[in-house]
Amino acid sequence: MKKLSQISTRSMQLFLAIVREGNLSEVARNEGLAASSLSRIVQQLEQALETQLLYRNTRAVIATEAGHLYAETFRTMLQQLTEAQTQVDERREEPGGRIRINAPTSFGLRHIGPRISAFSERYPRLHIELNLNDDYIDPFADGTDLLLRIAALQDSELHGRLIAPQHCHLVATPAYLRRYGLPQTPEDLLSHRLLAYRGKSGLQRWRFQQGEKASQFSPQAKIVSDNAELLLQAALSDGGILLFPDWQVGEMLNRNELVALLPDYTASYSATAQSLWLLYPGGKYPSLNTRTVIDFLVDSFGSPPYWRYFAKPAQE
């Protein structure tokens, strides 16, 4: 049995330095060790692992194939130990300093803004910078600590927490439906007053799925806007039919201010299913400040989130 218990983190660090520099004497000098002491540490590593880790000659040392494999393992182990120690240390501290948060405008106004004051009071040492816009944000270049992003897939360069899948609903007010009638199929929408969102990528396409049958079209809208809140106000003023995500209209559906249309169809404006994520750049584990914001928001949103619409049974 390999004597893995004999390997210390210091031995791993020194071995990685030797592999990186390719010179045992130089590493010994940089670390303030005698070359003989460093050589003995390498020998102890090789004995514990029962394999040769380095090729030695008068000019340099080169890692063997096993040496390269163990070097990669040591890097991973040391990184995990560092991250674990960071988390332990941070749990003894209080969140503080500046944190930059970015979210889509409508979501930020509707679901983060009403909670930001309570969060600030709970963590008085934190200074919050909340930026709301619908543009793509590169957190590495922008210096953003936490993003709320609505996406089909999590960005491979980011880590984060899933809030919830996004569901879309076709909606109108009861007063609008009394005046213009209740559509039964997507084709019926062509004779209705439609409200449509136009973003950076153009006018949203409306998509409908019923079993194997799928259809999509660009709505011939009476009102088009790049501002979601304006369109929602138009819909609430009996101005027409709107296709929006549940986090924008779910609460109004539950309060019967809006009615969900075409219940036998799955409606969306994206070809792929989308979800709401809280994402952060950097390592696998978020900083104390970032983790604190994530935990607060996820807890306040609930599971399922409070905006989720649950369709009521049809009345006889």
Give the residue with greater pLDDT, 69 vs 5. Answer: 69
Give the residue with greater pLDDT, 49 vs 111. Answer: 111
Closest C-alpha to 308, from 251, 232, 242: 251
Going by pLDDT thresholds of 50, 70 and 90, the confidence category of residue 156 is: low
Q: Please check the confidence at residue 28 and state whether its pLDDT lies above 90.
A: no
Residue 310 covered by a domain: no
Task: Give tens-digit pLDDT for 202-248.
Answer: 899 999 999 888 999 899 999 999 999 999 999 999 999 999 999 99
Mean pLDDT lowest among 53-57, 63-67, 180-184, 284-288? 284-288
The span from the CA of 294 to the CA of 160, in Å, is: 9
Per-residue pLDDT, 315: 42
The span from the CA of 120 to the CA of 178, in Å, is: 45
Judgement on whether residues 146 and 283 belong to the same structural domain of the protein: yes
Going by pLDDT thresholds of 50, 70 and 90, the confidence category of residue 154 is: low
Mean pLDDT for the chain? 88
Judgement on whether residues 156 and 187 belong to the same structural domain of the protein: no
pTM: 0.68
Mean pLDDT lowest among 154-163, 198-207, 249-258? 154-163
Per-residue pLDDT, 1: 40
Give the residue with greater pLDDT, 5 vs 302. Answer: 302
Per-residue pLDDT, 44: 87
Closest C-alpha to 31, from 291, 184, 286, 39: 39
Q: Please check the confidence at residue 285 and state whether its pLDDT lies above 90.
A: no
Residue 315 covered by a domain: no
Residue 308 covered by a domain: no
State mean pLDDT over 130-141.
81
Task: Give tens-digit pLDDT for 82-101.
Answer: 877 776 666 567 888 899 99
Residue 316 covered by a domain: no
Judgement on whether residues 80 and 154 belong to the same structural domain of the protein: no
Judgement on whether residues 141 and 23 belong to the same structural domain of the protein: no
Per-residue pLDDT, 158: 76
Q: Which domain holds residue 183?
A: 168-268
Q: Is 168 helix (H, G, I), strand (E, B) or coil?
A: strand
Judgement on whether residues 114 and 183 belong to the same structural domain of the protein: no
Judgement on whether residues 113 and 155 belong to the same structural domain of the protein: yes
The span from the CA of 120 to the CA of 126, in Å, is: 7
Domain count, the chain: 3
Q: Is 183 helix (H, G, I), strand (E, B) or coil?
A: coil
Of the residues 43, 72, 90, the one at which a domain ends: 90
Residue 309 covered by a domain: no
